Amino acid sequence: MSDPVERPLRIIHCFRSPLGGIFRHVRDLAEAHAKAGHEVGILCDSTTGGSYEDKLFDEIRPFLSLGLVRLPIRRSIGPSDIAALWGSYKQIRSLRPDVIHGHGAKGGAVARIIGSALRVNRYCVARLYSPHGGSLHYDKGTFLGKTVFFLERMQEYLTDSIVFVCDFERDVYEEKVGRPRTHAERIHNGINDRDFHKVHARPDAADFLYIGMLRDLKGPDIFIDAFARTERIVGRPLSAIMVGEGPQKAEYEQMMLERGLGRRIEMVPAMKALDAFSFSRTVVVPSRAESMPYIVLEALAAEKPVIASRVGGIPEVLGENAHVLAPPGDAQALATIMTSAVSEPGWAASAMPEPRGFKASFSSSAMAGSLMRLYRQLLSGKPPVAERNKRAVSVF
């Protein structure tokens, strides 16, 4: 067999839910690595997602030479995981991967357990794990949190490298799980190079856009509250659009109805972010918790102004002291920034990062290149060395 440091690699990405940021992350990686001549495959849950996600899978299929495998993988831990693991093992073993990269808690467990089983059978495979927030959102003071973090700690023995998508994620991991006992480094999320172009707002564009899952963790209720407060401050009607699906959609519709906002805030089904951007002037990300949300990166690549909660890795993108950041859960602070967006000329130009520098740090080509370097280092048998002296290389 040819040297894995030189030949094209066979890469399998494992994750549970084909939704949101993880799915976007994997799609961009798969495309970038396939275009570089590598063979890529995906294994994920078959019970999550709808017609919108099916269309996204159709777009990525041409880059999946190792195929798309979908099996039932439940979110909670249970007896069904045994069947999921066995089915995943049989599928992955037949593909003979060089790299198994797990994303999220369930994807990470599948990748590392199966990768370790392959190693028992004398098959060389690199096992990587990217938390993407996931289990790190649990409270370490609860029994469930302690259990989850104990399992995370134990799985480090089955891991060749942990890849964090932002410094915040790495810091939370160290605080809740502990300093990694295996190699670990930070490689920022990045988006496809073709998405770096300005998206102009339509003449009838709404003042504000919320796009994402309709659940409290992402803050749609905060967005609605802040919108109402902004209208009172500026003393005139405004407009907004909310794009997405989720388990609490009916609650937010009722909230808008009770506040008389039904005609000024429009709810529409999930769509691509680039399509949604043209319907608005300013993107609002009011999350209560995040890791490194793709919507912020996508909006900045489209040169859309962004207002966001000061959570997760968002300050790493917009700047620690950026005046567009509000404390999480604080609708009044968010409304104050939204008021500036609609009343101060030139507000957007002074609020956003410089486009060229942003692209150099957060493009998918940069992300994919850094990960390929890491994959090859792990397969070479030599201790990996992080690029540019990134913190958190800790091998015990």
Mark whether 182 and 64 lie in a shared domain.
Answer: yes
Rounded to whole angstroms, how far apart are CA atoms 69 and 45? 8
Q: How far is CA 49 from the centre of its chain?
A: 16
For residue 128, the cross-strand partners are: 101, 161
Mark whether 285 and 385 lie in a shared domain.
Answer: no
Mark whether 253 and 326 lie in a shared domain.
Answer: yes
Mark whether 172 and 206 lie in a shared domain.
Answer: no
pLDDT averages per 10-residue partition of the chain, 396 residues: 72 87 89 95 84 87 92 65 74 88 90 88 88 84 92 94 93 95 93 89 95 93 98 96 93 94 92 92 94 90 94 89 92 97 86 82 91 94 62 34
Mark whether 231 and 258 lie in a shared domain.
Answer: yes
Mark whether 114 and 256 lie in a shared domain.
Answer: no
Instruction: Return the structure tokens found at 5.
Output: 């440091």
Rounded to whole angstroms, how far apart are CA atoms 338 and 226? 8
The reply to whether 56 falls in a domain is: yes
The reply to whether 396 falls in a domain is: no
Mark whether 186 and 211 lie in a shared domain.
Answer: no
Beta strand ranges found along 251-344 (DSSP E): 265-268, 280-285, 306-309, 325-326
Rounded to whole angstroms, how far apart are CA atoms 352 and 329? 22
The reply to whether 2 falls in a domain is: no
The reply to whether 394 falls in a domain is: no
Q: What is the pLDDT of residue 132?
A: 85
Mark whether 161 and 203 lie in a shared domain.
Answer: no
Rounded to whole angstroms, how far apart are CA atoms 296 and 277? 12
The reply to whether 5 falls in a domain is: no
Q: What are phi and psi of 363, to 5 degrees?
A: -90, 155
pTM for the predicted model, two decimal places: 0.81
The reply to whether 47 falls in a domain is: yes
Mark whether 157 and 202 lie in a shared domain.
Answer: no
- Which range marks the domain in which residue 150 is found? 10-190+363-389
Mark whether 173 and 208 lie in a shared domain.
Answer: no
Mark whether 317 and 222 lie in a shared domain.
Answer: yes
Q: What is the pLDDT of residue 292?
A: 84
Q: What is the pLDDT of residue 76?
A: 62
Which string of DSSP letters, residue by residue, matches 18-75? -SHHHHHHHHHHHHHHHHTT-EEEEEEESSS--HHHHHHHHHHGGG-TTEEEEE---S
Q: Could you tell me which of 6, 20, 19, 69 has the C-alpha nearest to residue 40? A: 69
Residue reference for tokens 């998508």: 165
Rounded to whole angstroms, how far apart are CA atoms 34 and 26? 12
For residue 152, what is the domain's CATH number?
3.40.50.2000
Please state the domain count of the chain.
2
First to last CA, the chain: 31
Instruction: Return the structure tokens found at 179.
Output: 């300093």
The reply to whether 159 falls in a domain is: yes
Mark whether 60 and 131 lie in a shared domain.
Answer: yes
Q: What is the pLDDT of residue 349?
A: 77
The reply to whether 201 falls in a domain is: yes
Q: What is the pLDDT of residue 244?
A: 92
